Structure 1
Amino acid sequence: MPSHFTYDYAIIRVVPKVEREEFINVGVIVSCGVKRFLDARIELDESRLLVLDPTLDIEMIRDHLAVIPKICQGGEQAGAIGQLPHRERFHWLVAPRSTIIQTSKVHTGLCQDLQAVLEHLMNRMVRKNAHVETVHS
């Protein structure tokens, strides 16, 4: 049986009107130093977002969100940030911002399967009608 290892995660949020502090969770970033793992999943529920602000530029939001998984993957296509070590990229992604795209505080967990953690967090924190299951890892 594989050993357990710690991971850090943050929830990705879209905050249409920063001054109102209302947001919709749209994704998750997970990082694990031991496994040299950094990944993000994003699912934008446009109809829920437009309830908060019907004047939003959804295309612009999609474009900004699409950069997050590229930065997680790293490499030249992710620009200068993509050249940093994975932990530094994670810290850059989760740094506090007062922009339309923000992340939650960083939380820590313990698991055996990082992909299962990503799916679990998406179900629990992002998907509105998803059946929430327990992760046994």
Structure 2
Amino acid sequence: MRAAEVYDYAIVRVVPRVEREEFINAGAIVSCQRTGFLQAAIELDEARLRALDPHADVETVRRHLRAIVAICAGLPEGGPIAQLPYRARFHWLTARRSSIIQTSPVHTGLCADTGSALNRIMDRMVRPLATPRSPA
């Protein structure tokens, strides 16, 4: 059995009208300093976004969300930030900002597999909740 790894994560939020401070969770970023893991997962629910702002520029939001994934992966389309060391990228992505794309405060967890942790975080914080089954 592998030892538990300490990881940091933040939830990616879309705040279509910053002045209203309403947001939807659209993804997560996970970083493990010991293993050098840095990855983002994004799943934008357009219907929820349009419920908050019917005039939201969905394509622009999608473009910015794709940039987060590219920066985490160190891809050229992530621009100069994607070329920084992975921890600097994580800190840059999770810095507080007042824009349409924001992140939650950084949280810490323990896991045996950071990729699985990212999937669990997406299930718990981003993906739609399962509909409870009614009693038979």
TM-score, with length taken from structure 2:
0.93
- Name the residue aligned to 1:51: 51
Aligned positions of 1:1-137 closer than 5 A: 1-130=1-130
Aligned structure 1 segments of 4 or more residues deviating by more than 3 angstroms: none
* Helix, strand or coil at the partner of 1:13: strand
**Counterparts of 1:118 and 1:13 in 2: how far apart (Å)?**
15
**Counterparts of 2:130 and 2:37 in 1: how far apart (Å)?**
25
**Counterparts of 2:34 and 2:130 in 1: how far apart (Å)?**
30
**Counterparts of 1:76 and 1:44 in 2: how far apart (Å)?**
23
Backbone CA RMSD of aligned residues: 1.1
**What's the offset of the Cα at 1:91?**
0.2
* Helix, strand or coil at the partner of 1:129: coil
TM-score, with length taken from structure 1:
0.92
Matched length:
131
**Counterparts of 1:106 and 1:75 in 2: how far apart (Å)?**
23
**What's the offset of the Cα at 1:77?**
3.3
**Amino acid of the structure 2 residue aligned with 1:65:** L
For the 8 Å contact 1:123–1:130, the answer to whether it is kept is no
Q: Deviations over 1:24-79 (max 9, x none)?
A: 00000000010100000000000011000000110111111100010001143322
**Counterparts of 1:75 and 1:121 in 2: how far apart (Å)?**
23
Q: Gaps spanning 5+ residues in structure 2: where?
A: 132-136
Q: Gaps spanning 5+ residues in structure 1: where?
A: 132-137
